[in-house]
Structure 1
Amino acid sequence: MSGDRSRPAATTSGTTSDGTPDGTSDAALAALHRRTLRVLVGSQVLAGAGLAAGVTVGALLAEDMLGTRGLAGLPAALFTLGSAAAAVGVGRLSQRLGRRPGLTAGYAVGAVGGALVVLAAALDSVALLLPALLLYGSGTATNLQARYAGADLAPAERRGRAVSTVLVATTLGAVVGPNLVGVMGQVASAIGVRPLAGPFLLASLAYAGAAVVVWTRLRPDPLLAARAAAATEGTAGPAGPAAATPAHPGAPASTGRDLPALRLAATAMVVTQLVMVAVMTMTPLHMRDHGHGLAATGLVISVHVAAMYLPSPVSGRLADRYGRRPVVAAAGAVLLAAGVLAALAPPDSVTVLAVALALLGLGWNLGLVGGTTMLTDAVPLADRARTQGDVDLGVALAGAGAGIGSGVVVAFSSFAALGLSGGLLALAMVPALLAGRRRVEDPVR
């Protein structure tokens, strides 16, 4: 397999000398796809715990160290900017060398960032905190980039389910992580660090573990295997673009990009990320302002993160069965409901706020699964990883803007205004859906 130096020599039986598939037959590709998903599931369970740290206490740590409410959204903005840079870096590295080096490097940088956040809190150094949060964002980007690796070898009609399998694996770590806020705070206090830095210690260890799993187990590399299969067949192959392997009957054949679908996929993911980050970032501060403790905050964020990832199998099946476009449309409707409910939730009701944040997570999941599958369908295999990284750059930049803007909106208005604004913004996907429907031959997709 060109470019994969770690891969053992192939044998004539369709497997390598260590018993793994050589990627030259349909059966071997299917077996490698299953193996890839198992490895990604393992790494995502670990990475999910790292992802949850900044979500749960990032704004609280910033307010504590910076001493101002107006900049409480800065951590979300910084690690989202770091995520933007990492999305491009991981995408480019994956394009050149494969998913394994790209994902490993991204997780490793995130682990370093988490450790530096803990050090910054110990030293009370804002100057160190800011670049540390940028590096920490690499783990977030890599966590999301892993979903593309799950789809590299998937047949077009099962791409939604492949993406969802990787996403749902994040649930365990991401739900457990926020509920360890108190425990990790005690650990941090025991070593002389601010309790709010404790979750970042967990994040550093979790991302480091994910890097080890990917580096040692993700071989043969799924992206390189897909390219080798395509080269062997002389076509796009079973892992090629949807244009070569139609995602649905009657889809037009083409070897180039489906630009209308690509634009719609990017719009869906950007809007869902923006709305989700804006409301989620300010929720811990809103709850603290109304007398809720860290345990209640951790519970609400756990519910939110579970809703971000746990519905993935259903979202993936819906995308494969009914099309990508209806799933994206559902995302807009659910996000609107989430914003309105968050705005109307009684300040003393943890239950109502948890439901609102659950809807927020569900809307994000529908937008991400629908958009990711549509994007993978629309882009040829030859430049798929690079394009995926570029789109995730836009997604991360949208999240960064939401992180900064959410603090400003709440500081000068209210959390209710933020929720309503986010819900209305979700309607921005409707014009894109209508425009895309007019320009794409298949109205379902």
Structure 2
Amino acid sequence: MTLPTVAQQQAVQRRTVAVLSAGQVLGGIAFGATVSLGALLAADISGDDALSGLATASVTLGAALCAIPLARLAMKLGRRRALTLGNLFALIGIGIVILAAALRVFPLLLVGIILIGAGNAGNLQSRFAATDLASSRHRGRDLSIVVWATTVGGVAGPLLLGPGEVVGQAIGMPPQTGSYLFSLVAQVAAFILYLVALRPDPLLLAQRIIAAGADQNPLEERRDHPVVARYAMFAIAASHVVMASVMAMTPIHLAHMAHGAHGGHATSADISSLVGITIAMHVAGMYALSPLFGILADRWGRLRVVLLGQVLLGGALLFAILTSDQAWGVMAALILLGLGWSASTVSGAALLTEATTPALRTRRQGRSDSLMSFSAAGGAVLAGIILSYFQYPGLAVAASVLVVAIVVASPLGRMRTE
């Protein structure tokens, strides 16, 4: 089969980034809704705030369990098959969550959230799919554009809580599940988009070019840097734990604040509004400026932007410690938390890709996503316990240990010149 010219490869890359970005818009709606509602549903159905962290733990566990299998599937059959399978998992998970809320069965709720997390493993893989045909000069930029696209769905998900409740009540859905109706429609659309439009498959095309030893190979052959790759995986995972653990407990903390502000009688609408706006701002911080961080990673270097992310995460934790009793302070902390996560994960993913030879990239990318999600699942469970005993500021202090560790270990992330 004739290989595409350089111009044709660039055209395929542009089309791939556009399709992946559109898919992220749709997939982000379910992610945003689960982030906002998962902890509240878990606390409501279980009757114990300490178990609320299991919601975020479950969504990250689902992503962790499926990251490596989806990466292996992508290596054999391409990104398109892996991404559509992830969408299918998410669709099934949304249906189970709605059923669990209707039956008020806590274990069933966690099963549904785990499957939504499995779908999120596909969403995470999309950012690496954007690098399959990318040149080194634009790898960070292309990756970050796909990450940025999640902003629309991720912000829309929390903001659809109110309208979702209205629609849900009108058609008889269980309380606090109405916005999942929008998620269901979005996931179906994403499934069809990937199935129809992600052609040619970027990873399969890149594998053909590498196997042919073509001069126009977009994936420059470089010496492998396993130490740098391991640091990149650690920085991505630890930054994700910091973000996920604090974010997971914020809805519960805000619910307590709302009850305090209303003399212990805050309505469900009061809580949903406060949580929805705060999480929407957080998700905007996670994704809205990712192209900027991608460009900075291409120009300044990957490691410098990883460290910039730690500065932003440290600022977020400082706000959480000092202004935990103020709604504006919690919102500022969540915005900075999102920005720090964005800088760290975009530059970390680019660093991991650049430090790894093409033959090992997909495998390491899957391991990185799995490590990131497993770590965040454990962090979310511990966050619920820490919140119960040490409150919100104590949780921020505990999370700061990981920020310090990433900074201290940063010399391991320096790419040696060849």
- TM interval, shorter chain, is over 0.9
- SS, match of residue 195 in structure 1: coil
- SS, match of residue 46 in structure 1: helix
Give the distance between the partners of 1:82 and 1:346, measured in 2 at CA: 30
Q: Is the 8 A contact 1:336 1:422 kept in 2?
A: no
Give the distance between the partners of 1:265 and 1:205, measured in 2 at CA: 35
Which 4+ residue blocks in structure 1 deviate beyond 6 angstroms? none
Query: In the alignment, which of 77, 88, 93 is matched to residue 113 of structure 1?
Result: 93
Instruction: State the identity as a percent.
Output: 38
- SS, match of residue 238 in structure 1: coil
- Gaps spanning 5+ residues in structure 2: where? 259-269
Match of 1:374 in 2: 351
Give the distance between the partners of 2:239 and 2:165, measured in 1 at CA: 31
| TM-score normalised over the length of structure 1 | 0.88
Match of 1:441 in 2: 416
Task: Indicate whether 1:280 and 2:247 are aligned.
Answer: yes
Task: Indicate whether 1:267 and 2:246 are aligned.
Answer: no
Give the distance between the partners of 2:12 and 2:214, measured in 1 at CA: 20
Query: In the alignment, which of 28, 36, 42 is matched to residue 56 of structure 1?
Result: 36
| TM-score normalised over the length of structure 2 | 0.94
Match of 1:389 in 2: 366
Give the distance between the partners of 2:92 and 2:218, measured in 1 at CA: 34
Query: In the alignment, which of 342, 350, 363 is matched to residue 327 of structure 2?
Result: 350
Deviation of residue 279 (structure 1)?
A: 0.5
Deviation of residue 394 (structure 1)?
A: 0.1
Give the distance between the partners of 2:341 and 2:76, measured in 1 at CA: 30
Once the two structures are superposed, what CA deviation does each residue of 1:277-333 show, in whole Å capped at 9, x if it has no partner? 010001111111011621121111011000100111100001000110001111111
Deviation of residue 189 (structure 1)?
A: 2.5
Give the distance between the partners of 2:65 and 2:182, measured in 1 at CA: 23
- Counterpart residue identity of residue 404, structure 2: L
Deviation of residue 434 (structure 1)?
A: 2.1
Match of 1:238 in 2: 217
Match of 2:265 in 1: none
Question: How large is the RMSD of aligned CA atoms in angstroms?
Answer: 1.6
Task: Indicate whether 1:133 and 2:113 are aligned.
Answer: yes
Deviation of residue 157 (structure 1)?
A: 1.3
Q: Is the 8 A contact 2:303 2:413 kept in 1?
A: no
Change in Cα spacing, 1:346 to 1:73, as seen in structure 2 (3 Å) is closer
Match of 1:15 in 2: none
- Counterpart residue identity of residue 395, structure 2: L
Q: What does 1:9-408 align with in structure 2 at a 5 Å threshold?
A: 23-234=3-214, 238-241=217-220, 244=221, 253-254=222-223, 257-291=224-258, 293-347=271-325, 349-408=326-385
Change in Cα spacing, 1:436 to 1:165, as seen in structure 2 (3 Å) is closer
Q: Is the 8 A contact 1:113 1:204 kept in 2?
A: no
Once the two structures are superposed, what CA deviation does each residue of 1:85-135 show, in whole Å capped at 9, x if it has no partner? 121121111011110001110111111101110111112222321211111
- Counterpart residue identity of residue 286, structure 1: H
- SS, match of residue 69 in structure 2: helix
Once the two structures are superposed, what CA deviation does each residue of 1:178-217 show, in whole Å capped at 9, x if it has no partner? 0110111222223333322223333233222211111110
- Counterpart residue identity of residue 265, structure 1: A
Give the distance between the partners of 2:11 and 2:58, measured in 1 at CA: 40
- Gaps spanning 5+ residues in structure 1: where? 2-9, 11-22, 245-252
Deviation of residue 155 (structure 1)?
A: 0.3
Q: Is the 8 A contact 1:48 1:171 kept in 2?
A: yes
Give the distance between the partners of 1:170 and 1:154, measured in 2 at CA: 20
Give the distance between the partners of 2:218 and 2:408, measured in 1 at CA: 31
Deviation of residue 234 (structure 1)?
A: 4.6
Give the distance between the partners of 1:277 and 1:84, measured in 2 at CA: 14
419-428 or 31-40, which deviates more: 419-428
- SS, match of residue 49 in structure 2: coil
Give the distance between the partners of 1:201 and 1:59, measured in 2 at CA: 18
- Counterpart residue identity of residue 139, structure 1: G
Deviation of residue 414 (structure 1)?
A: 0.5
Deviation of residue 77 (structure 1)?
A: 0.6
Give the distance between the partners of 2:230 and 2:402, measured in 1 at CA: 17
127-136 or 153-162, which deviates more: 127-136
Give the distance between the partners of 1:119 and 1:270, measured in 2 at CA: 32
Once the two structures are superposed, what CA deviation does each residue of 1:210-245 show, in whole Å capped at 9, x if it has no partner? 11111110000001111122223357x53325xx2x
Match of 2:263 in 1: none
Higher helix share: 2
How many residue pairs match? The answer is 407
Match of 2:392 in 1: 415
Give the distance between the partners of 2:311 and 2:107, measured in 1 at CA: 41
Give the distance between the partners of 1:416 and 1:206, measured in 2 at CA: 36
Q: Is the 8 A contact 1:111 1:205 kept in 2?
A: no
Once the two structures are superposed, what CA deviation does each residue of 1:336-387 show, in whole Å capped at 9, x if it has no partner? 110110121152x322221110100001001111110011112222232222
